[in-house]
Amino acid sequence: MFHDRSPIYLQIAEGIKNDILSGSLEEDQQVMSTNQYAAFYRINPATAAKGFAQLVDEGVLYKRRGIGMFVSPDARARLRAERRERFFAEVVAPMLDEAKRIGISVDEIVKHLGEK
Partner 1 sequence: MSIEIRELTVRYGGTVAVDGVDLDLAGGKIYGLLGRNGSGKTSLLSAIASYRKPSSGIVRIDGEEAFENPRVARRTCFIRDTLDLSDSDRLRTALDLAARLRPTWDGSYAAHLIEVFGLNPRKRVSSLSRGQRSAFGVVLGLAARTPLTILDESYLGMDAVARTLFYRELLDDYLRHPRTIILSTHLIEEVADLFERVIIMDRGRVIVHDETDALRGRGVTVTGPAEAVTSFVAGHAVLGEQSLGGVRAVTLDGHFTAGDIERGEAAGLSFGPIGIQDLFVHLTSQPLEASR
Q: Can you tell me whether residue 45 is helix, strand or coil?
A: helix
Q: Is 89 in the site for partner 1 (CB under 8 A)?
A: no
Please report how close the Cβ of residue 5 comes to partner 1 at its closest, in angstroms: 4
What is the per-residue DSSP string for 75-112? HHHHHHHHHHHHIIIIIIHHHHHHHHHTT--HHHHHHH
Element (H, E) at 49: helix 45-57
Q: Which of 47, 61, 69, 75 binds partner 1 (CB under 8 A)?
A: 47
Q: Does 6 bind partner 1 (CB under 8 A)?
A: yes
Answer yes or no whether residue 91 interacts with partner 1 by CB under 8 A.
no
Decide if residue 43 touches partner 1 (CB under 8 A). yes
Cβ proximity to partner 1, 37 vs 71, nearer residue: 37
Q: Among 48, 63, 62, which residue's Cα sits nearest to residue 10?
A: 48
Please tell me whether residue 18 binds partner 1 under the rule CB under 8 A.
Answer: no
CA distance 1 to 47: 14
27 or 49: CB nearest partner 1: 49
Residues found near partner 1 in the complex (CB under 8 A): 2-9, 35, 38-39, 42-47, 50
